[in-house]
Chains A and B, each alone.
Chain A
């Protein structure tokens, strides 16, 4: 998966500094994360609840023998729990040696964003989840919320 994505990124990079993002949907919003952090995408996987953890830690899954916690992104952003069904998708990301599964409603596609297409995050006051937002990406008609994974995983 990763290798394919990287190969694509090399083929399709006409503008200097263009970065690739994986876009996904949580609730009504479309988010995107840097594709280089994405390790793999998993379909429905058994999740075991973990006690003594924040509500957005949905549980832990077995990723080929490694125990990986799964974060419910909707709850991470302060919403209610995502309905976990066999259509749910878990994006496994890896940052700084830590692996975390992000439970999202659907994965959309990979988008190229030139530096000019990325805007700083809007100043929307004290909204609790705005610290997760790294910027806003414009891709045609779509507006993607670019996530700061360091903050999400903190």
Chain B
């Protein structure tokens, strides 16, 4: 029986995406002029690998396209062709189309016609389509006319033993065509005396004129293809030469292949074998440690206590290592998304008429796979903004005595338990005065308010905020920065702006390594333990040094260095009994979320640690003010508090810096704890 190849499709798609990424990332390098054999080899291999697998799995459009790309790349490799920006653009266009084809194939949707694009590639490579026949020969996608096929059918000698009759197969094949010519291949026929009548020694070669597709022809052999060799060749002259069309490229570009391709990206995860091996080793050691404990518990006597203690210690160590390694499986290098920015910047350079260069730093920095995917869009916005607004035009740059080309740097690195991603440009910097003017115009700040520049810059994260003089194709519509901020918030991260007029702007995104684990501060209120996300904790103060005042109509405030700050009690918002007034040494934990700053009264701080976030859903709807739960060292459940939720429950209003509210706090003294 024929092997069902469709089960390989998923890994093929994964593989394709990887190769497409390589193509996207490295094609751009062709522009730099430094064309070396390594680069061309890598590009050629990527196209070639896709061609090979797609041919095997019957994705004909992909095979055809990669074949045409391969010809161009081969030309470059043999130095028959010279690299040029136009050629790079064409190859990038083909890569876009390829990504789209893969996405369509993944959704089981029919492939669009790739002929125009292939023709363009063939013209570029000078191969005109008759250069070399790819294996297997692609079927025509668009031409409806009959074509001529040469089918070689060579059964293995055991074919009869499997109950298969070659005559039936041949008849079925011939029935498909309007015109057929069958020739027996007698090469394998032994002399009469050694001829075994139960074995098949004949082969056939069929010339068939048919309108059937290659897939239909292959179907004829689906019952015998494990006991026979079948070769399908198509006479090349039947392929119609179509006029070059410009639309196909534009269409491919507008189809946003990334969006489609990533829809199912979460389904599988490719993990380096090395990581899996480590896990296997660790589990092995874990089993040994556990066996040691079991054994020392048999005939246990106090004298053996130290062995037991040691074994439990081992178990602990291995468990911790196992946890790290399992988390590590989800880690992928951020370079997987950095690559696409090379392409983006190249396109932006062209569209904006600016010479923009992209520098990537720390592409190996690893973070959680789902974080990497969610980070792509915000980074895209930031890079676009940097190119469009941040960088000056070439003339302005030269006039300012800067190099003609602007540089955008994407840098990632680990810092403590966080990943820090910087998007910086060497452009003109943020125009603080204009942002403030715009903020006042939009009612975000009151005229005459004295605001430190950092606070002013944060206004660009307000929804619909744009200071761009003209709305360009790329940015300036005022959508974007608020989306960036929201995306980063959604990843439990923070974003900060540093800007120097005339020197450039840096957006710094600080993210936890994974969504599943947070850095938290555990604390006690009454008899319950809670966890606060550390990135929202600004500072903690003993209430003995910060007096609490009750203001009629405003609830309680705590005076932080003389400034009143709203105070929230869990006993009020979550009905958690806290320690009686005067007992113990209560503290105020100053929390910040978005525009809101408030203090939370707690009875005791227990410590800082990492906590695994466990969802309450679907077993229970998430209560307001609770982000999730976590399991403490003793196996009990502790709740992780949701700071925005607490602010809502405590009716804490947005921090107002314009002096309208009597409860306004002064500018933050330390924003990031």
Chain A minimum-CB-distance residue to B645:
A52
Contact (Cβ within 8 A) B637 A52: no
Counting CB contacts under 8 A, is A151 at the interface? no
Interface segment, one of B6-14, B172-180, B628-636: B628-636
Among the listed B618, B619, B626, B637, which residue makes an inter-chain contact with A51, where contact means beta carbons less than 8 Å apart? B626
- Nearest A residue (CB) for B628: A67
Cross-chain contact A52 with B626 (CB below 8 angstroms)? yes
Verify A52–B623 contact, CB threshold 8 A. yes
Q: Is the CB of A49 within 8 A of B576?
A: yes
Q: Is B631's CB under 8 angstroms from A51's CB?
A: no
Contact between B624 and A61, CB atoms less than 8 A apart: no
One digit per residue, 1 when the CB lies within 8 angstroms of any chain B CB and 0 when it does not, for chain A 67-78 equals 111000000000
User: Nearest Cβ distance between residue B520 and chain A, in whole angstroms?
Assistant: 16
Task: Give the residues in chain A near B360, CB-CB below 8 Å.
Answer: none
Complex: A98 Cα to B529 Cα, angstroms: 25
Of the listed residues A51, A57, A59, A66, the one surrounded by the most CB atoms of chain B closer than 10 A to its CB is A51
CA distance A82 to B626 in the complex (A): 25
A46-B614 contact given A51-B623, A67-B629, CB 8 Å threshold: no
Given A50-B626, A62-B635, A65-B614, do A98 and B619 touch, yes or no (CB 8 Å)?
yes
A48 on the B face (CB < 8 A): yes
Count, chain A residues at interface, CB 8 A: 22
Main secondary structure of the interface of A (DSSP, over half): strand
Asked if A97 contacts B618 (CB within 8 A), the reply is yes
User: Count the A-B residue pairs with Cβ separation under 8 angstroms: how many?
Assistant: 68
Complex contact B636–A62 (CB within 8 A): yes
Nearest CB to that of B641 among chain A residues? A51
Question: Does any Cβ of A come within 8 Å of B575's Cβ?
Answer: yes
List residues of chain A with CB within 8 A of the CB of B560.
Answer: none
- Listed residue (A50, A59, A61) with the most chain B CB atoms within 10 angstroms of its CB: A50
A32 lies within 8 A of chain B by Cβ: no
Residues of A34-89 whose CB lies within 8 A of B: 46-53, 57, 59-62, 65-69
- The distance in angstroms between the C-alpha atoms of A49 and B170, with both chains bound, is 75
Residue in B573, B625, B637 whose beta carbon sits within 8 Å of that of A60 in the complex: B637
Shortest beta-carbon distance from B178 to chain A in Å = 57
The yes or no answer to B1 lying at the interface (CB within 8 A) is: no
Whole-angstrom distance between the Cβ of A69 and the nearest chain B Cβ:
4
The answer to whether A67 and B616 touch across the interface, beta carbons within 8 angstroms, is: yes
CB of B614 within 8 A of CB of A52, answer no
Complex interface: chain B residues within 8 A of A61 (CB): 637
Contact of A67 among B529, B575, B614, B624 (CB under 8 A): B614
Write the chain B residue with the least CB distance to A59.
B637
- Contact of A51 with B576 in the complex, beta carbons under 8 Å: yes
In Å, the complex CA distance between A56 and B624 comes to 17
State whether A48 touches B637 (Cβ < 8 A). yes
Residue of A59, A62, A67 touching B615 (CB-CB under 8 A): A67
Alpha-carbon separation in the docked complex, A49 to B636 (Å) = 11
Chain A nearest CB, measured from B617 CB (Å): 9
Q: Are B631 and A65 in contact (CB under 8 A)?
A: yes
Residues of B within 8 Å of A60, CB to CB, are: 616, 620, 629, 637
Tell me which of B575, B626, B631 contacts A62 (CB under 8 A). B631
Tell me whether B623 and A48 are in contact (CB under 8 A): no
Q: A50-B623, A50-B626, A51-B576 are in contact. Are A66 and B614 (CB under 8 A)?
A: yes
Cβ of B439: which chain A residues have Cβ within 8 Å of it?
Answer: none
Name the residue on B nearest A71 (C-beta).
B620
Q: How far is the CB of B640 from chain A (nearest CB, A)?
A: 11
Q: Do residues B625 and A98 form an inter-chain contact, with CB atoms below 8 A?
A: no
What secondary structure prevails in chain B residues at the interface with A? Answer: loop
The contact of B620 among A47, A48, A69, A97, by CB within 8 Å, is: A69
Q: In this complex, what residue of A is CB-closest to B635?
A: A62
A71 → chain B closest CB, angstroms: 10
Q: Which residue of A lies closest to B573 (CB)?
A: A51
User: Which chain A residues border B620 with CB–CB below 8 Å?
Assistant: 50, 53, 57, 60, 69, 100
- Given contacts A60-B629, A67-B629, A98-B619, are A52 and B574 in contact (CB under 8 A)? yes
- Asked if B639 is at the interface of the complex by the 8 Å CB criterion, the answer is yes
A71–B568 alpha-carbon span in the complex (Å): 29
Cβ 8 A contact of A69, one of B576, B619, B631, B636 = B619
Q: How far, in whole Å, are A62 and B619 apart by their CA atoms in the complex?
A: 12
Chain A hits for B635, CB < 8 A? 46, 62
A52–B616 touching, CB < 8 Å: no
On whether the beta carbons of B619 and A99 are closer than 8 Å, the reply is: yes
Asked, given contacts A51-B625, A51-B626, A62-B631, whether A69 binds B616 with beta carbons under 8 Å apart, the answer is yes
Taking CB atoms, residues of chain A closer than 8 Å to B574 are 51-52
When the two chains form their complex, are residues A62 and B625 in contact, meaning their CB atoms are under 8 A apart? no
Residues in B580-634 with C-beta less than 8 Å from chain A: 614-616, 618-620, 623-626, 629, 631, 634
- Give complex CA distance A82, B635 in Å: 23
B638 interfacial by beta-carbon distance below 8 Å: yes
| B619/A100 in contact, CB under 8 A | yes
A48 and B624 contact, CB distance less than 8 A: no
Most chain A CB atoms below 10 A, which of B573, B574, B639: B639
The smallest C-beta distance from B313 to any residue of chain A, in angstroms, reads: 22
Interface centre among A46, A52, A57, by most B CB within 10 Å? A52
The interface residues of chain A lying within 8 Å CB-to-CB of B631 are 62, 65, 67
Closest to B631 in A: A62
Q: How far is the CA of A57 from the CA of B639 in the complex (A)?
A: 15
Distance in angstroms between the alpha carbons of A60 and B664 in the assembled complex: 38
Q: Which chain B residues lie closer than 8 Å to A65 at the CB level?
A: 614, 631
* Cβ of B528 under 8 Å from chain A: yes
Q: Are A67 and B623 in contact (CB under 8 A)?
A: no
Q: From B620, which residue of chain A is reached at the shortest CB distance?
A: A69
- What chain A residues lie within 8 Å of B624 (beta carbons)? 52
Contact residues in B for A99 (Cβ distance below 8 Å): 619
Q: Flag if B623 contacts A62 (CB, 8 Å).
A: no
How far apart are A57's CB and chain B's nearest CB, in angstroms?
7
A59 to B636, CA, bound (A): 11
User: What chain B residues lie within 8 Å of A100 (beta carbons)?
Assistant: 619-620
Q: Which residues of A contact B636 (CB under 8 A)?
A: 46, 48, 62
Contacts of A53 in B (CB 8 A): 620, 623
CB neighbours of A47 from chain B (8 A): 637
In the complex, chain B residues whose CB is within 8 Å of the CB of A51 = 570, 573-576, 623, 625-626, 639
Asked if residues B528 and A67 are in contact (CB atoms below 8 Å), the reply is no
Interchain residue pairs with CB less than 8 A apart (6): A48-B637, A49-B576, A50-B620, A50-B639, A53-B623, A67-B637
Add 4 more A-B contacts to A67-B616, A69-B619 (CB < 8 A): A51-B575, A52-B625, A53-B620, A97-B618
Closest 4 CB pairs of A and B: A51-B574, A52-B623, A48-B637, A69-B620
Task: Give chain A's interface residues, CB within 8 Å of chain B.
Answer: 46-53, 57, 59-62, 65-69, 97-100
